[in-house]
Amino acid sequence: MATIFKTFLNNDITSTKTLLHEAIPLTGTIASGTYNAGGATTETWNGTNIKNYAHGMFQSVYDYPYLSSSANHIYDLSVGYASGSALSGTEGVDRTQQVKKINMYNTMAQVLAGFDVTGGIRQFDEDGSLKNTGDDPKLKNCIFINFARLLAKDEIKKGSFTIKIGTGSYANPKAVSARTTGLLVISDTGKQNDYRVNSPAGEYAILSATAGYNKNFTVPPACGLIFYQAGVVVLSSSIFQVGEPGVGMTSGRGILSASIVPGFPPTHMIQYRPDGLSITASLTGSSISSSCNYFRHRIYDMSFNNTTELNSTIHFCRINHNDFNYSANPTYLSASKIRVKNTTLDSPISYMTTVGLYSSDNELLAVAKLSEPLKKDPTNEMTIRVRLDY
């Protein structure tokens, strides 16, 4: 009689995990310039691939005009600051959408940083050991980049993220100006084995400026965080502040290089808005959407590798010499005799074409097809490897 089922033993099943990576390059022209709707003065906010919402909490960037069925969501942008930030209590400024900005900061902090022992929301922290003497170790004024699941997949690969940001004038942000070095390069280089795990959203690392920063820093200055599984980048507003040479880098959070030019007005801020005002003025006096527009205008490019986690269960179907030498197919017999036997002394022969995996109550769960029929008789044994990916 044909053997129909054979039970797997514990050492017949094993599990593996494979990480697949894909390079994701994002040019700055997608964020600002490619799909402008009305010329140079409006390209930063009227791009047909930029979607703003009535709630005004964030804006979405697409790779094509978002009303098209071909458009793919790339990432969301937003800004916010903590309720304890100096911006939230600055006198004499127009604190536009202050409640929304504080709510955005708190929302992101709850998800990515969690709560402390008192139930309060933790603020983003770059690790005080990497900051300058006298600096607040907390990130209180932030720009948020939330990558779409379509791009980030299961997570961003550690050590692969880079963003280049223009620090020149607003009219030409990617050029070298009298006060800055042109492009500020921020990355998580070397963070493959240097990351934190105390976030409710998974693993995260500290972003550092790797080029274009003030050389008074003895180590590349920290300027943000990247949360790998969440696919979120949190940037400090200090990336748009200039640190003057010679002041010891203890009086401010500016990380940009500067050149002292006779007659150039002293300032610790670059021209973040088209009216020449700074990132601080934008965070307090502009809507979230407008602040995101100004930031998009300065993105030169971004790149990272995503990660797809492929889990597999491998079943080793071990077929002994006396297993599966018969077939349950009714056509295997003719007049109660095996068709492949010419005499009673001939060995039974079967040809295996399919492997079925069954549950404990003999319910068929999965079917694996062989590339070609395999001949089986009492003189041979074999092991068939079946892999289930999910």
Could you list the pLDDT tens digit for every one of the 390 residues in the chain? 445 788 999 999 999 999 999 999 999 888 887 886 554 444 445 678 999 999 999 999 999 999 999 999 999 999 999 887 767 655 445 678 889 999 999 999 999 999 989 999 999 988 754 444 445 678 889 999 999 999 999 999 999 999 999 887 788 887 665 455 568 999 999 999 999 999 999 999 999 998 888 767 777 888 899 999 999 999 998 888 876 544 433 334 577 765 544 333 445 567 788 887 788 888 888 899 999 999 998 999 999 999 999 999 999 999 999 888 887 777 778 777 777 777 777 788 888 889 999 998 889 999 999 999 999 888 999 999 999 988
Question: Is 3 inside any structural domain?
Answer: no
Helix (H, G, I), strand (E, B) or coil at 238: helix
pLDDT at residue number 1: 42
Last residue of a domain, one of 252, 279, 308: 308
pLDDT at residue number 245: 45
pLDDT at residue number 44: 47
Question: Is 314 inside any structural domain?
Answer: no
Question: Is 223 inside any structural domain?
Answer: yes
Q: Tell me how far apart the alpha carbons of residues 385 and 390 are, in angstroms, rounded to a whole number.
A: 16
Question: Is 7 inside any structural domain?
Answer: no
The verdict on 138 and 247 lying in the same domain is yes
pLDDT at residue number 264: 39
Q: What's the chain's Rg over C-alpha atoms? A: 31
The verdict on 96 and 208 lying in the same domain is yes
Per-state percent for the chain, helix, strand, coil, to nearest 5: 15, 35, 50
The verdict on 291 and 200 lying in the same domain is yes
pLDDT at residue number 142: 93
Beta strand pairing call for 50-52 and 59-62: antiparallel
pLDDT at residue number 177: 54
Last residue of a domain, one of 308, 340, 371: 308
The verdict on 288 and 328 lying in the same domain is no
pLDDT at residue number 105: 95
The verdict on 300 and 346 lying in the same domain is no
Boundaries of domain holding 324: 320-389
Strands (E), the chain: 13-27, 50-52, 59-62, 73-81, 124-125, 138-139, 141-147, 155-156, 162-166, 183-187, 196-199, 202-211, 222-227, 232-236, 299-319, 333-334, 337-338, 350-358, 364-376, 382-389
Total count of domains within the chain: 2
The verdict on 235 and 337 lying in the same domain is no
pTM recorded for the entire structure: 0.81
Question: Is 220 inside any structural domain?
Answer: yes
The verdict on 106 and 225 lying in the same domain is yes
The verdict on 365 and 288 lying in the same domain is no
- Closest by Cα among 153, 152, 138 to 105: 138
> Burial letters for 341-362: b for 16+ Cβ neighbours within 10 Å, e otherwise?
eeeeeeeebbebeebeeeeeee
The verdict on 304 and 342 lying in the same domain is no
The verdict on 100 and 245 lying in the same domain is yes
Query: Counting beta carbons within 10 angstroms of the beta carbon of residue 385, is it exposed (0 to 12), middle (13 to 18) or buried (19 or more)?
Result: exposed
- Closest by Cα among 349, 354, 359 to 380: 349
Question: Is 380 inside any structural domain?
Answer: yes
pLDDT at residue number 262: 39
The verdict on 61 and 98 lying in the same domain is yes
Question: Is 330 inside any structural domain?
Answer: yes
Question: Is 9 inside any structural domain?
Answer: no
The verdict on 238 and 363 lying in the same domain is no
Last residue of a domain, one of 259, 274, 308: 308
